[in-house]
Amino acid sequence: MLIGLKEILEPAKEGKYAVPAFNVYNMETVMGIAQAAEELRAPVIFQVYSRLFEQGKGEYLSPLILETAKKLSVPAAFHLDHGSGEAAVLRALRNGASGIMIDASLKPLEGNIAETGRIVSLCGEVGVDVEGELGHVGSTGDESQSPFTEVAEAKRFVEETGVCALAVMIGTAHGKYKKAPKLQIERAREISQAVGIPLVLHGGSGVPDDQVRAAIGAGVAKVNFGTDVCCSFLDSVFEVSRQVIALDLFMNEPIQAVKRFAMEKIRLLGADGHV
Ligand code: 13P
Ligand code: ZN
């Protein structure tokens, strides 16, 4: 069943598990993830990068996600990931998103609060809750790492914007890590205690399992996986024989590969068996 971002995250925070948020790109990634969630009785978030809405792809993908989420017997949210501004947010809402992320994390604190607060008000008009980001989670290809999220700033950010979930910079990055990251678990715990809302861990692909578990223990209730969704799908695509021509048959194995990947992460996050 399709539910909102806040509704799906609050039980996770209470129950000390995290909801996996998988970036999806096509029918096959949606199918593999849906089958994994259904089989393991886990809540799940399908999320779509802002770029797909900016490049006219979100309109094709959204109906597929919406129908899948509605049909599932487990709770599922449809989320805009790293919303770049009002235009992307409006497009995602128009296409049925039940959660919105606005990423103004490259702006100075005041600007981030102003932009995020504005989007929270806008989405509030249609009853959709918002994830914000404070401290910038960059890319594994960046020259240097951004500073970690400050506890006092996080408290102010959450109070003044009204976000329902907070993405924090505690040492992760987007993409394939060159060497394993070292997460700031104590800082996450302090932020969590100060803000009282679920924290979000971006850059989940490649984070060692013990650090993911520790982050959940410290207040993370949503973990994002993008790169490894792509890799599980693509690795399989390149293995399927060129003799298979019919695309639906060609895609059978990649769907199963995405499903196996999603099942592994659902179990890691302790999200299985919660519904
Ligand atoms: P990865 O691509 O590193 O898994 O990060 C995903 C993410 O944070 C999506 O917002
Ligand atoms: Zn991210």
Q: How much is the pLDDT for 232? A: 98
CA angle 5, 98, 44 (to 5 degrees): 55
The 10s digit of each residue's pLDDT in 156-195 is 999 999 999 999 999 999 999 999 999 999 999 999 999 9
Q: Check: CB of residue 98 under 8 Å from CB of residue 4.
A: yes
The 10s digit of each residue's pLDDT in 197-226 is 999 999 999 999 999 999 999 999 999 999
For ligand 1, mutation pick of 25, 80, 212, 225 (most atoms within 8 Å of CB): 225
Is the distance from the beta carbon of residue 227 to the nearest atom of ligand 1 less than 6 Å?
yes
Q: 3-class DSSP state for residue 82?
A: strand
197 vs 21, 75, 116, 167, CA distance in Å? 17, 20, 16, 11
For ligand 1, mutation pick of 103, 199, 223, 224 (most atoms within 8 Å of CB): 224
Q: How much is the pLDDT for 205? A: 98
All residues with CB under 5 Å from ion ligand 2: 202, 224
CA-nearest residue for atom 8, ligand 1, is 202
The 10s digit of each residue's pLDDT in 96-149 is 999 999 999 999 999 999 999 999 999 999 999 999 999 999 999 999 999 999
**Is 81 annotated in the active site?**
yes
Feature table: binding site: 82, 103, 133, 174-175, 202-205, 224-227
Identify which of 204, 194, 198 has the alpha carbon closest to the alpha carbon of residue 171. 204
| Rounded Cα gap, residues 189 and 37, in angstroms | 28
Is the distance from the beta carbon of residue 270 to the nearest atom of ligand 1 less than 6 Å?
no
Q: Which amino acid is at 197?
A: I
Is the distance from the beta carbon of residue 62 to the nearest atom of ligand 1 less than 6 Å?
no
Q: Average pLDDT in the 41-58 region?
A: 97
Q: How much is the pLDDT for 201? A: 99
Q: What φ, ψ does residue 163 adopt, rounded to 5°?
A: -65, 155
Q: Check: CB of residue 100 under 8 Å from CB of residue 133.
A: no
Q: How much is the pLDDT for 38? A: 98
